[in-house]
Amino acid sequence: MDVKDSGAAAAGFQARWTSLLPKPDEPEEYAKGLWTTMLSKMINREEDFDKANFVLTVDTQRGLQSLFDYIIYLGIKPYQVLSYFFQSNRILTDSGMTTIGTYLLKLFKHQITSWLGITQHFIIDNVGEINSVEQCRPIVASLSTVLDLCSREKDMRQHYGRQFIDGIYTCWPQFSSLYYSTNIDDKLLIVTLLTKTFTIDSHQLI
């Protein structure tokens, strides 16, 4: 996506909400409170594993996605949101057991990828410093999920795929702890992520 396309996307993204609701005073603080409240209504924290409070019918998904759109419009910063998408805590949903990161990514995939499309260095600026294998695993797993979603949808892949790949490769040295881990599952995780980048952008193989 070039600068012109990104600007048009951003304008359309904001115009939808400007015509419906004015921004409140201190919109970023309001957005943070709204995000926290939405998560507390969506997810019930329990000792063994978390539980999703909603059955994700079409109407429920649309309502939550519209609310997340509004939160982004209000100006919440990516770093205030993305840590939740990297969480590996288990959660029981209406479709079975998964991780919180995967649950949120699948629900808000279009919002996250559209946000990426209008935010420079989205992945680079928000992965953060990784100091351990334990810290690295959920981040790489989440990025793999993002690439899965991206590869399945042509428009998403064409508009945002290259920016995802560029961000992942820039952060690649931070993921090296998985490759050097003695755990075979860690090695498989990083190799899987690399393979999925080739699926999105086959030019990397040339």
The pLDDT value recorded for residue 45 is 84
Return per-residue pLDDT of the chain as tens, 206 residues: 443 444 444 445 555 555 566 677 888 899 999 999 999 999 998 877 889 988 889 999 999 999 998 899 888 888 888 888 878 788 999 888 988 888 998 899 888 877 876 676 777 777 767 878 888 888 888 888 778 877 777 777 777 778 788 888 888 888 888 888 888 998 998 999 988 888 876 655 44
Look at residue 9 in the predicted model and tell me its pLDDT.
47
- Measured at the CA of 62, the angle between CA 52 and CA 156, to 5 degrees, comes to 100
The reported pLDDT for the residue numbered 152 is: 76
pLDDT of residue 6: 41
Look up the pTM and report it.
Answer: 0.70
Q: What is the domain partition of the chain in residue ranges?
A: 1-119, 127-206
Give the CA distances from residue 143 to residues 42, 98, 123, 190, 202, in Å, rounded to whole numbers and listed in that order: 22, 15, 9, 10, 18
Cα separation, 113 vs 45, whole angstroms? 27
